[in-house]
Structure 1
């Protein structure tokens, strides 16, 4: 057997999947780590905890290979994008990892967005002006942490740091680079104007390589820990969103991928860069010849987790007694409520929001509560609110890319039949769910196979996806959702002027508590 490993360094865990050249999964691993929110707007990770998770996940899947008769052809990587680590002149970290969800640079994002350069920067880089981008994060460091900024000789994200520690290589793939807000997607090089705004030079950023770039030289001590041969070929890969599209099979024109994991996204793949005059969507590279266009949302499965922990804490104990997953119990409860939650709407902006409103100060809210509403209504409204938000991203994407021909969905939510049906009903289109839920790992493996000559093009992914299930929209629910979605959208617009005010109030009083 010839094996290839797809690894995904995600926001809350690192996953690894061992694929055989027969299209089957032979092993998988998932190693989690915490997200630190020690201050308002902070969303950080510890790079050493992630490095340990990468090592453990690799060790677990490699242990299933019999090297006496089988071959590990390569290991290919996916990672979360828009993470930032500042390094000193010896490539030692000066900070933890600021993840895409860190919003402390909101003030500086607003300054750029409201300047006469904001739209031009977006149109060159394909990255909406938002605190998620390295452009804004570095500005925050420069202004709020000048001691760190002055010592910083280099900047990178988590994948680049892991590669440096494991192999001693210093490089960034074009996919991750295109998500920074510092990279010109048309010229395929670091953008001088964006770097000037951030206060960084090209020498401080890693050289950019293609997704198929190969390297080897796993350090001896890591090879011993993982059982992975030191001469194994490793492939650079791309960022998780691009590879999720690839891994779910959404590679043809008009095929839309919807993903809901911790966060969520709606994306399509094109063969050329596409930007939006209204600045609502991103355009990032997959490789030098393919681009993924769409919109990410901050609020996906993590909002469901918030509902579980804060509205249904007692049900967690009940689920344990019944030997059931707490999320499954909550979706059963939500399923007892009719579509539309009897007029209860939920805006899921618990962590600000990216697409389509790009408002870091956005806040969540229930609207329409009456005495007839119960916790069951609230949990269904939470699930529906997440889907409504994704639908607004699709509407923006349709304006620049046309009507979708097919919708493929993946992510942790895809295990829920209620959520699958809800997605089909709100989108009013059939939704197909692939069997393989770890789409980013599969996308990484496909990049690796193409790099290694094991595949000629992306279509090889169809051999690996396995069985699919399709959910057709239920016409009985159309009228309800057609009435509620416009109300949801209008409410967002009407509340938007107050988001900054309530955010300012929350920050002020949270700082006062910290001082006390």
Structure 2
């Protein structure tokens, strides 16, 4: 943990799938301290992805806050911002104690039947028109319906429902709130044009469902109550802003705020967010409210990214990453004629298919672990390209691509992605993550800095290699046709896995 600087401080905390991270900053965006805690995800059965909201979210936030409060060393923590993986769902009673394990975002496919029944009831075209996207595992609405149908005892007791960050905000302040961006992923129960709840559809499908107060991520949701102050070590009455989903907080943190800006997040899953001048929609992608009022974004997500790299690393014996990266770097583009479809956890966009499965084409006895490791990188890169091609068909090519996340370290993966996409990527000098954006939102929300404030520092540029790009163009044609050619077999294997065969 690194420390520096003086004066009033802003605390940002981000809840991730693998860790929770806290960052203290000054009003100028200088990082005073950062710290992380590992957290775990549970997969109790195929298609179910969960976390314990108390132990993994709240308890971890308290631990991080106490550590960073000590680092503040008497300096004022002027405000707190929280972001989190999402959109997620956890239901509680008035005591804010979770009644079930938190259901995670689009990687949890449990509500496929509810998606079908909601589309049948409302009409898929009507949902797309009102919500700006098709229903998918990314949507919270079908998961609410799943709880109502599959966990009636929970539904009966529940009085409130939350995403990851809004759960923590409630435990800090006692306020039940949700930011407009996250609400715009509670499909089909948020009207994108009206920027309000779709009360008629809620009443039709869920009955008398209570709803949180809406606001923007930078707005003050409430103030730290005494029990939370004791748990976190922060002063009673400290302002807490609404916060938002982690990927959008990270995009905000690196200055992806102008129309044409696109943030590419290299994480355990891959995420792409392009800022729009106005709402625009495309099947297979997600149109949402942006972080700032009057802004919109078009987003896409891949179910496997860094998680596929980790799986490949473990599969080949767990050699040091530096060693594997060195071997992969020595192999020419194309991985010796290997091509990977990265659907090892289903897929979310632009293909939405919970039963999609990973494919490796071209393996021979001459291939080694370095080939497979590089092919995993390249397969994810082709998936990114496919998503950006669909985006470009709606809103044009991005004017700027900003790369963030743990996967940018080392340089090989970012170079491969630029080669496959044929576009440069900016790597910001400060890549703390979503918690940095949370701190900025807290500073804006308290009026410490103007809403236009940008803490982004100068970036390194990763440029595509023309020769590699030309080769990847040829491979991409095969990539695009491989899914429809193998889909039937994927689904048969997925069914066998569900049956325990």
Structure 1 window deviating more from structure 2 (475-484 vs 119-128): it is 119-128
C-alpha deviation, 1:42, in angstroms = 1.2
C-alpha deviation, 1:111, in angstroms = 4.3
Identify unmatched segments of 5+ residues in structure 1.
Answer: 316-325, 511-516
Distance 1:88 1:215, change over 3 A: closer
* 1:83 and 2:88 matched: yes
Decide which of 328, 345, 348 is 1:334's aligned counterpart: 328
In 2, Cα distance between equivalents of 1:78 and 1:274: 25
In 1, Cα distance between equivalents of 2:471 and 2:121: 41
Structure 1 window deviating more from structure 2 (466-475 vs 437-446): it is 437-446
Decide which of 282, 287, 291 is 2:287's aligned counterpart: 282
Deviations 1:471-504 (A, max 9, x none): 1111120221000011111101222344333222
- Is 2:14–2:246's contact at 8 Å kept on the other side of the alignment? yes
* 1:54 and 2:61 matched: yes
Distance 1:160 1:4, change over 3 A: same
Decide which of 232, 244, 247 is 1:241's aligned counterpart: 247
- Is 2:325–2:370's contact at 8 Å kept on the other side of the alignment? no
Distance 1:53 1:90, change over 3 A: closer
In 2, Cα distance between equivalents of 1:435 and 1:343: 35
Distance 1:200 1:371, change over 3 A: farther
In 2, Cα distance between equivalents of 1:150 and 1:237: 28
Decide which of 342, 349, 355 is 2:349's aligned counterpart: 355
* 1:63 and 2:55 matched: no
Structure 1 window deviating more from structure 2 (370-379 vs 150-159): it is 150-159
In 1, Cα distance between equivalents of 2:118 and 2:331: 44
In 2, Cα distance between equivalents of 1:152 and 1:245: 33
* 1:440 and 2:460 matched: no
Q: Show the 5 A alignment for 1:367-386.
A: 367-386=361-380
Partner of 1:299: 304
* Cα RMSD (Å): 2.1
Distance 1:106 1:370, change over 3 A: same
In 1, Cα distance between equivalents of 2:375 and 2:68: 39
Deviations 1:275-321 (A, max 9, x none): 12x343433432432122121111111111111222333x1xxxxxx
Equivalenced residues, count:
492
In 2, Cα distance between equivalents of 1:414 and 1:398: 23
Partner of 2:3: none
C-alpha deviation, 1:438, in angstroms = 2.6
Deviations 1:243-269 (A, max 9, x none): 221112121222211111121112111
C-alpha deviation, 1:236, in angstroms = 1.2
Q: Show the 5 A alignment for 1:151-230.
A: 151-181=157-187, 182-192=189-199, 194-196=201-203, 198-201=205-208, 203-230=209-236
In 1, Cα distance between equivalents of 2:173 and 2:370: 51
Normalized per residue, which structure has more helix? 1
* 1:426 and 2:432 matched: no
* 1:496 and 2:490 matched: no
* 1:139 and 2:139 matched: no
Q: TM-score, normalised by structure 1?
A: 0.90
Tell me the secondary structure at the aligned position of residue 204 of structure 1.
coil
Distance 1:112 1:329, change over 3 A: farther
In 2, Cα distance between equivalents of 1:89 and 1:214: 21
In 1, Cα distance between equivalents of 2:225 and 2:199: 35
Structure 1 window deviating more from structure 2 (37-46 vs 500-509): it is 500-509
- Is 1:81–1:179's contact at 8 Å kept on the other side of the alignment? no
- Is 1:256–1:408's contact at 8 Å kept on the other side of the alignment? yes
Partner of 1:99: 104
* 1:366 and 2:360 matched: yes
Tell me the secondary structure at the aligned position of residue 445 of structure 1.
helix
Tell me the secondary structure at the aligned position of residue 64 of structure 1.
helix
Distance 1:275 1:468, change over 3 A: same
Distance 1:71 1:474, change over 3 A: same
- Is 1:388–1:426's contact at 8 Å kept on the other side of the alignment? yes
* 1:468 and 2:493 matched: no
C-alpha deviation, 1:173, in angstroms = 1.3
* 1:269 and 2:275 matched: yes
Decide which of 11, 14, 19 is 1:13's aligned counterpart: 19
Any runs of at least 4 consecutive aligned residues in structure 1 with deviations exceeding 6 A, and if so which?
none
C-alpha deviation, 1:194, in angstroms = 4.2
Distance 1:358 1:336, change over 3 A: same
Q: TM-score, normalised by structure 2?
A: 0.93
Structure 1 window deviating more from structure 2 (47-56 vs 326-335): it is 326-335
